[in-house]
Amino acid sequence: MSVSATPLRILVVQPLYGGSLTVGRYAVAALRELGHVVEVFEGPSFNGSFNALKSLRIGSDRLGALESSFLQIVSQAVLAQAEAFEPDLVLAPAQAPLSRQALTRLRRDGVLTAMWFVEDFELFTYWKGFAPLYDVFAVIQKEPFLSQLSAIGVQNALYLPLAGLASFHRPLALDSVERRKFGADISFLGAGYPNRRVAFRQLLRYDFKIWGSDWEGDPLLATRLQRAGERIEPEEAIKVFAASKINLNLHSSVRVDPPVGQGDFVNPRTFELACCGAFQLVDRRSLLDECFAEDELATFTDMESLLAAIDHYLTHPEERIAMADKARRRAMAEHTYTARMQTLLAFIDERFPGRLAGSRDAQLEAWSQALPESMRGDVLALLERLQLSKDASFKDLVWRLRQQQGALSSVETAILFLDEWQKQYGMSEQAKS
């Protein structure tokens, strides 16, 4: 049985905050859609306490020590959850609270670990101390990053670009009120990085809206900022995408000269807009051609080409529609989180043969076949409702049931009773021996 057909137990360790938190949530959704049993360590639950440390009137050295100690406690909580869940794989998006000691312990216990490092390796350099401790290190950049990882002993590095979530990032039909509220000739959704501030001052002659946070201190752009710079949740973001004639997608940079840089990795917005069937203007990246063809995405390389592209596409709606449709077809075929998770699991299975599929295959239980005929239909319906494969083990079903809230059905009660009976019977047999 291949990995894709084997229900795995995967613990996803979410960061306390940050952009990779959203990536982690989409990865969880995709893994569940693939039929795997996914448990989530909710890092954001600890973020309030972590931030409270900064309110103490203490020196920076003491604060740093306290923050380090706090993160060690969070890592211990991850280990406790892993011990209870017994995962086949621990998946960590960038900034996940896993200490060096925790990663060493997981490796000693035979639990495979993988990080999806969805950040710029030149800006966020903590990877140098952590990458060798993961069994697999997936990244969104190629050279020279892959060579630098190899130089520090990372043998299982994987180029894994970002994606869109097919079940969420999709075309929307908006009513007239929503189109007025979210629509514009040009929209941008994202944080106010320095290069964007400089670039967008040249767009004030257009019907232009800015959505997102961290735009304080710029009186010119404040006239275009929506909701006073509130954070825009994904559910409203896709409405902005759908309502805008042109979705401007300028990758972030702390450098302002030039405002349109020459970077490599492709940001998540590129794939999300494509999956939504929304037209976008995106700055050219060195890795973009591997993801989309020239007739699928409209690109620009500097401010002059950006302004020319805006003027062209505002007056050629038929080209916008045709290009957005092509980009959506490409994205749905190749650039979804489901596809990315399949690629990641296949890579792990190739590098660690039998560690994922083999051990699980031997343990899969045909327990549903042993149930009375009258219960089988209800059990199969329960598995489907819980997003579990029909081949899921009894252990997986019990784990998922115990995460549910509310009253139990008769079938659920019977399954949990059987689990308790097995535990008691097993303990009795062990005592006899």
E strand or H helix at 13, and its extent? Answer: strand 9-13
Is residue 3 pLDDT above 80, yes or no? no
> To 5 degrees, how large is the angle CA 324–CA 327–CA 333?
140
How far is 297 from 282, CA to CA, in rounded Å? 7
Report the candidate in 312, 230, 231 with the shortest Cα–Cα distance to residue 279.
Answer: 312
Band of residue 164 on the pLDDT scale cut at 50, 70, 90: very high
Our measurement of the distance from residue 321's CA atom to the centroid of its chain's CA atoms, rounded to an integer in Å, reads 28
Is residue 1 pLDDT above 60, yes or no? no
Band of residue 426 on the pLDDT scale cut at 50, 70, 90: low
Specify the pLDDT at position 357. 60
For 371-418, how does the pLDDT look when each residue is reduced to its tens digit (9 = 90+)?
667 777 788 788 778 777 666 777 778 777 877 777 888 888 878 877
Q: For residues 139 and 172, is the Cβ–Cβ distance under 8 A?
A: no
Give the mean model confidence (pLDDT) for residues 1-27: 86
Specify the pLDDT at position 368. 58
Cα-Cα-Cα-Cα torsion 298, 299, 303, 305, nearest 10 degrees, comes to -70
List of domains in the chain: 3-163+336-351 (3.40.50.2000), 176-334 (3.40.50.2000), 365-423 (no CATH)
Give the mean model confidence (pLDDT) for residues 21-45: 95
Give the mean model confidence (pLDDT) for residues 331-353: 97
For 236-251, how does the pLDDT look when each residue is reduced to its tens digit (9 = 90+)?
999 999 999 999 999 9
Q: Lay out the sheet containing 280-283: strands in order across.
A: 208-211, 184-189, 244-249, 280-283, 298-300
Give the mean model confidence (pLDDT) for residues 198-218: 96
Query: Looking at the DSSP assignment, which residues form a beta bridge with residue 188?
Result: 210
Is residue 165 pLDDT above 80, yes or no? yes
Is residue 362 classed as helix, strand or coil in its secondary structure? coil
Q: For the chain, how many residues are written? A: 433
Specify the pLDDT at position 367. 60
Is residue 264 pLDDT above 80, yes or no? yes
Is residue 253 pLDDT above 70, yes or no? yes
Band of residue 366 on the pLDDT scale cut at 50, 70, 90: low
Give the mean model confidence (pLDDT) for residues 51-56: 93
Give the mean model confidence (pLDDT) for residues 257-274: 95
How far is 367 from 303, CA to CA, in rounded Å? 63
Specify the pLDDT at position 290. 96
How far is 157 from 154, CA to CA, in rounded Å? 6
Mean pLDDT of the chain: 91
